[in-house]
Structure 1
Amino acid sequence: MMESVMSNLSLAALLLGSALCPVQAFAQAILLDPIPLTAEDPSGPIAVSGAQIEDARTGTLKDVFRAEPSVTVGGAIAIAERVFVNGIDEQQLAVSVDGAAQNNRMFHHTGTNIIDPNLLKAARVDAGVAPADAGFAALAGSLAYETKSALDLLEPGRSFGGQATLGYAGNGDTATGALALYGRQGPVDALVYGKRATGNAYADGDGTVVPRTGADMTSHALKLGLQMGDWRAELGALGFKDDALRPYRANLGGVIGGRPTPETRRYALEQTTRTLTLRRTAADGLLDPEIRIARSESRLDTFDLATPGKSAPDFNTGRARTLSLVAQNRFQLGGAEVTVGLDAARSRGRYAGQFRGAMLAFDEERRTAGLFAQARGNHGPIDYSAGLRYDQNRFTGVAGQSVDTDGASVNGALTWHVTEALSVKAAASSVFGGTQLASVYELDDVSAPDAYDALGATRGRNGVLGAEWQRGGTTLGAEIFRTRIGNLRKGLTARELDSEGFRLSARQDWQGGFAALRYSDTEVTLDGRGASSFDLRELGTVPGAMVTLEARHEIRPGLTLGGIVQHAITERTRASDTDSDWPGYTVVDVFAEYAPAALDNVTLRAEVTNLFDRAYVDRASYGGDFTEVVGQREPGRSIAATAVVRF
C-alpha cells in the first residue's frame, strides 16, 4: 500500500513541479506552508491566504480550505458541506461571520454555516486553542470569517467601482454570475453584491451522473459604513439560499436496505447574518472600544413529494437563530495589547412539521452571558498570549426544563524565538461550554423533568506543541495536538470526544512562486474507542492521514500557473459496527490565470479540477466506513473558465 501511495504522490508532484516550477527552483527542497507564529497570535492560527480565497471565487468552502489537510470539508454539494478542524465538527467550534456568533445547530445531512467565497476577505482557524475574545464555547477552537466592504474594494483615488465575475464549469454545465457595486461619498460608503449559480447534476469520475446535485445557489450582501469623526458605524447583511430537489438525505447517494425512503425531496436552505458595529478608529492606547449587535439565522425546510398514495406528504421546518451582543475595549498595558469585554447571546432551535403523518413541534433555548479578557504581547524573544473567560449558561429544554451552569475558561500560548531561524511554541486551553442545544432536526418529545440532568456542562481541553525553522525561502514546521471534549451532548446522553495527531509542513519560496507540502495525521475516538461516521454525526469525522501539495509560479508578468494535489491515505476502520475501511484517493487540480497588461481591469482564469477523473468520496463525507451506505461522490474531471472585470 505504501508503494502505491508513494507512486501516486510522486506522479502528482512531478506533474505539478514540471508545469509550475523553474528547474533551478524545483531542484530545491519543496517545503510546507508554516502555521503562522506571530507576536499577536503565538497559539498559531491557520490563516487562509488571499490567493487561496481568490482561487475559490466561483467555488465553495471546500475550495477555500482544500490546501490545508487539517481542515477538511465533507459534502459534495454546497448545502451539504461541513467543516471539520482536526477531525472535529464545526458545531464544536465558536464560528463567527464578521464577528457575529453563528448558531451552528441545523441538520447532519446539511451544512451549518455556508459562506460565499467571493465575499470573503479573510478566513481564520484557531485549531484547538482559541483566544477568550473568539467567543463563547470555543471547545475545539474557533473559525472566523470576515467579508469585504466597499473600503476593501475601492481603488485609491476613486469614489465608485464595480466588479463582475462570470464563470462556467463543463461538468454539470454550471454557470456562475456575480456583480458587486461599491462607492464612497463623504462619510458614507456602501457595497451591494449579488451572485447566482445554476447547473445540472454533475458526473463522477466513472462518468455516472450523480442525481440531484446541480447548483442552485443565490447569495447577496449589503454593507454600509458611516464615518463620524473618530467613530465608524457599519451595517452588514449577508444571505445565502439554495432551494432545489436534492437526494432524500442531501449528503448521501443512498442507503442499501434500512427504512424505505423516496429518492428525492425538496430542500430549501437559507442562512442570514445581520450585524451592526460601532467602533472608534482613532485609538489612543487607552480607548479603542467596539460594540456589536448581531443576528444570525439558518432556516431549513424539507418537503416530501406527493404520490398517488400520499396526497399530504411529510414536511419539516427548522429554525436555528442567535441574537448576540459584544462590547469590548482594547488598550495598551505594559507593552501588551489587552482586550476586555462582555458578550451575551440568546440562541434558539425550533422544529415543526409533519413526520410519518404526525404533527410535531419542539424547541430549545440557551442564554449565555460572559466576561472576558485577552492579553497579547512580547517580552524579549518570547511572544505570549493569555486569556480568561467567565460565562453563565441558562438552558431551557423542550418541555420547559431548566438547567443552569456557569464556569471559567482559560487559555495561554507562547512562542520562544530560540534563534533567528528556530522558534518553538506551546499552547493550552480549558473551555467551558455549558449545556448544548440539540441540532434542530434532532429535537424530540422530551417531557421528563430530569431529562437533561445527565448532560452536565460541556468542557473542552486542548494542547498544542510545535516548532518552526525558517531560513531564506525555506520554512519547516511540526506540531502535535490533542483535544478532549467531555460531557459532549449526543441526544440526551453525555459523550467524550478525543482528537489527537500531528501536522508537518514544508515550504520553499522563490522569486515569483512557491511550493508547499502539508501533512496531517489525526485520530478521532468517542468514549475512548474508535467510532463510525454514524456515531460521529455532528461531533466529528475520521480524517486519518491527509497530504496536500500546493504550488504557484508567475512565469511572466500577468501569467500565473498553479495547482493543488490532495491525497488521502487509506484509513483502517476502528469502529466495532463498521465493515469497510476508508479508501484512499489522489486528486489533482491545476489552473492558469492571466491578467493582460493591455487590460489591467480584467483577470482570466482557466482550470481543470480532478484532472485524472478519479471516482471518490471525500474523506470527510459521511458513510465511507459502511458498505451499505452509498457515499455522495465528488465531481469527476471538469474544465472551467472564469472572467473577472473591474470597472
Structure 2
Amino acid sequence: MKIFYLAALLLGSAMVPELATAQPVRLDPITLTADVTGSAEIAASEEQLDDARTGTLEDVFRAEPSVTVGGGITIAERVYVNGIDEQQLAVSVDGAAKNNRMFHHTGTNIIDPLLLKAARVDPGVAPADAGFGALAGSIAYETKSALDLLEPDDDFGGQVTTGYATNGDTTTGALALYGRKGPVDALAYAKRASGNAYEDGDGNIVPYTGADMNSYALKLSAQMGDWRAELGALSFKDDALRPYRANLGGVIGGRPTPETRRYAVDQNSQTLILRRIAADGLLDPELRIAKTESKVDTFDLPTAETPDPDFNTGVADTASVVAQNHFDLDGVAVTAGVDNAHSSGLYDGMFRGTPSTFREERTNTGLFVQARGSRGPVDFSTGLRYDWNRFTGAGGQELNTDGASFNAAATWKATETLSLNAGYSTVFGGTQLAGVYEFTDFYLLQDAYNALDPTRAQNIVLGAEWTAGDTTLGAELFRSSIDNVRKVMAGAIVDRDLESEGFRLSARRDWTGGFAALRYSDADVTLDGEGASSFDLRELGTVPGAMLTLEARHEVMASLSVGGVVQHAIEEETKGSDTDSDWPSYTVVEVFAEYEPAAYGNITLRAEVNNLFDRTYVDRASYGGDYSEVVGQQEPGRSLALTAVMRF
C-alpha cells in the first residue's frame, strides 16, 4: 500500500495553488531532469549552492533523497548515491580524479560549497568520459573561476562572506579576490570556520564537534590565441580534537578507547587544463594533468600510562592525465581520448604499540569514446571504455587485469507532455585499493590477494516524466549491482557482491516567483543477496531506506525570497544478521529568508533556522543506527544562522 499512498501524495502536492507576487520571476529547476545521459542526472542549481555557502555537502544535497550525506561533522561526511558509498563511484573535482580510499571513520572527499560552480551526480549509468571506476555512477564537482565571478564590464572584483550560527557559536569568514588583465585572469580565495561543540535537540553538548576548518583556492588562467590554459589548486584543512572514532558518539562495551584523539585532515588538488576554445567541430582537443591527495593523521593523547601513544598516517593520492578531443559528426557530439591514473594508498604509524608501514598501488590506462546526440524525438548517449589495470599489493604481489565497459541510454519524447528514458551500463573496475587504515600484516603474505577477482558492475535505470503546464511528475526505477567488491573480513581480503535497487518519485509545481518540489526515494541495499548491517557496509554503502523531502522557494517581493526544506526519514527495520535496533524515523525542517536591498545591489543578507523544531536525531546515512551499543553522532539541534555577502 505504501507506493499507492505515496503516488497519491505526490499527485496531490503537485496541485499547489499559484501564489500571486509582485515580480514575475521563474526560478531555475532543481529537480531531476531527463537528459541525453539516459539516467536522471541530479544537479544542484545555483540557488542550492548559494543556500549552502556557509555549510557542507550535506547542505548541498539536502533536498535530494537519492543523495544522502552521513556524518554530523564535516570531516566525517560521506556521500551515498542510491545507498552506494562514493568509494564505488568515479569522483572528480575540476576534472581531477579523486582517490576515495580513506579511513572509514572519516569522509573521503570534502568540498567547500562556497567554491562550487556545479555539483552533478550521474546515479547508476555514467558516461565513459566520466573516468575509470564509475561502478555505480559518478560525481563531478566544478569550482568557480575569476570569469564566473566578474561582472561583464569589470576587470577586478571581490567578495566577502561572513556567517554566524548560534548552535556552537560558529563563525565563518571568507574572502575572494579576482580579476583579469589582458589574456590573464586570476582568483584567490580563503575561508575560515571555527566554533564550539554544538548541542543536539535535547540540549546536550555533542563533544568535540566544533568547527575548525580552513579552505583555500588559487586559480590562474591565460588565453593564448585559440588556446586557454587553466591552473588551479584547492586545499581543505581541519585539525582538532575529535571523538576517538570521528563519525561516532561512542561504543558501549568493546575495546576500551580514549574519549578523544587529534585528527588532522588535509585534502588538496592541483589541476592543469589546456584546451582549444576556437571550436571547429573537428579538432577541439583538451589536455588535463592533475594530482589529488587526501591525508588523515590521528594522534592519541599521551597519558601517564602511555607517554608515547599511538599515531597513524593515511595517504590516498592519484596522479592523472587525460587527453581527449571533442568533435561533431553529423550533429552527434563525440568525445574520444585516453586517460592514465596512478593511485596509491599508504599507511604509516604506531598501532597498539607496534610500528608498521604498508602501501598499495594501482595504475590504470583507459581508452574511451562517448557519443551524445538527438534523432527526431529521441535523445541518446552511448559509450565504450577499455581499461588496463595494474595492481601492486602491500607485499609486492601483482594483479594485472583488463576489461571493457559499455553504456547506452536514451530518452524518448513520446508526446509533448510525456518522455520515457532508459539506461544500461556494464563497468569494469579492476582491482580495488584498500582503505588506508585497513592494512594488517596479513597483506604481506604472498597469497593475501588470491581471493580477489576484477570488480564489475551492472546498472539499469528506467524512468518516465510527465509535464503539463507548470506541473511535472517523475518516476524512476534503478538497480546497481557490483560483483567482487573488495572487503576486509576478520583480517582476510574477500570479494562481496553489493546491490542497490529501488525507485524514486518526484512532483514539482512552478508558479510565478517560485516552486515546490516533493521527492521520494526508497533504496534497498544488500550484500551477497542478504540484508546487511552498517558495519558490513562500511566503505560500500549505507541503509537509507525510504526518504522524503519537500523543497519550496518563493519570491515574496523584489529582492526578498523565502523557502525551506523538510526532510523525513521513514522508519526502517534492521536487516543485518547481528543487529538489534531499527532505524527510527525523524522529520527535520529548515527555513530561510534572503534579502538583497535595492539600494545596495552588492549585498545579500540571509537568515535561516536549521532544525526548526529542535529534533534529536542521527542522520539516516550515519553509521551505527542499527546497533544498540553504538552511540550515533547526533546532528545539531536548532540553530539560527545569519549570513552576509558583500561584493565589490
Instruction: Confirm or deny a common fold (TM above 0.5).
Output: yes
Letter paired with 1:631: G
Q: Is the 8 A contact 1:33 1:505 kept in 2?
A: no
Alignment-derived partner of residue 489 in structure 1: 486
Alignment-derived partner of residue 362 in structure 1: 358
Distance 1:243 1:624 in 2: 27
Counterparts of residues 53-452 of structure 1 (less than 5 Å): 53-445=49-441, 446-452=443-449
TM-score by length of 2: 0.95
Deviation digits for residues 22-68 of structure 1, max 9, x if unmatched? 3899xxxxxx9642123x43332111111000000000000000000
Q: Is the 8 A contact 1:94 1:137 kept in 2?
A: yes
Q: Is the 8 A contact 2:192 2:215 kept in 1?
A: yes
Give how far 1:335 is off: 1.7
Give how far 1:443 is off: 1.6
Deviation digits for residues 411-450 of structure 1, max 9, x if unmatched? 0000000011100000000000000000001122222222
Distance 1:281 1:479 in 2: 37
Tell me, yes or no, if structure 1 residue 464 matches structure 2 residue 465: no
Distance 2:472 2:181 in 1: 45
Alignment-derived partner of residue 640 in structure 1: 641
Distance 2:30 2:401 in 1: 41
Tell me, yes or no, if structure 1 residue 531 matches structure 2 residue 540: no
Letter paired with 2:619: D
Alignment-derived partner of residue 605 in structure 2: 604
Q: Is the 8 A contact 1:34 1:468 kept in 2?
A: no
Helix, strand or coil at the partner of 1:440: coil
Deviation digits for residues 105-128 of structure 1, max 9, x if unmatched? 111100000000000000000000
Give how far 1:346 is off: 0.4
Tell me, yes or no, if structure 1 residue 588 matches structure 2 residue 585: no
TM-score by length of 1: 0.96
Letter paired with 1:512: G
Helix, strand or coil at the partner of 2:75: helix
Helix, strand or coil at the partner of 2:34: coil
Q: Is the 8 A contact 2:103 2:437 kept in 1?
A: yes
Q: Is the 8 A contact 1:505 1:517 kept in 2?
A: yes
Unaligned runs of 5+ in 1: 26-31
Give how far 1:396 is off: 0.2
Q: Is the 8 A contact 1:393 1:434 kept in 2?
A: yes
Unaligned runs of 5+ in 2: 23-28
Give how far 1:296 is off: 0.1
Q: Is the 8 A contact 1:33 1:518 kept in 2?
A: no
Helix, strand or coil at the partner of 1:613: coil
Alignment-derived partner of residue 629 in structure 2: 628
Q: Is the 8 A contact 1:350 1:440 kept in 2?
A: yes
Q: Is the 8 A contact 1:236 1:275 kept in 2?
A: yes
Letter paired with 2:611: N
Q: Is the 8 A contact 1:245 1:266 kept in 2?
A: yes
Distance 1:280 1:497 in 2: 41
Q: Is the 8 A contact 2:377 2:414 kept in 1?
A: yes
Q: Is the 8 A contact 1:482 1:501 kept in 2?
A: yes
Alignment-derived partner of residue 508 in structure 1: 509
Letter paired with 2:469: G
Give how far 1:575 is off: 1.2
Alignment-derived partner of residue 28 in structure 1: none
Indicate the RMSD between aligned Cα atoms, in angstroms: 1.8
Q: Is the 8 A contact 1:320 1:350 kept in 2?
A: yes
Distance 1:24 1:598 in 2: 21
Give how far 1:290 is off: 0.4
Distance 1:589 1:303 in 2: 36
Helix, strand or coil at the partner of 1:45: strand
Alignment-derived partner of residue 565 in structure 1: 566
Letter paired with 1:488: V
Distance 1:60 1:575 in 2: 30
Q: Is the 8 A contact 1:393 1:406 kept in 2?
A: yes
Letter paired with 2:616: A
Letter paired with 2:438: E
Distance 2:62 2:78 in 1: 13
Give how far 1:200 is off: 0.1
Q: Is the 8 A contact 1:125 1:141 kept in 2?
A: yes
Matched length: 630
Distance 1:507 1:194 in 2: 37
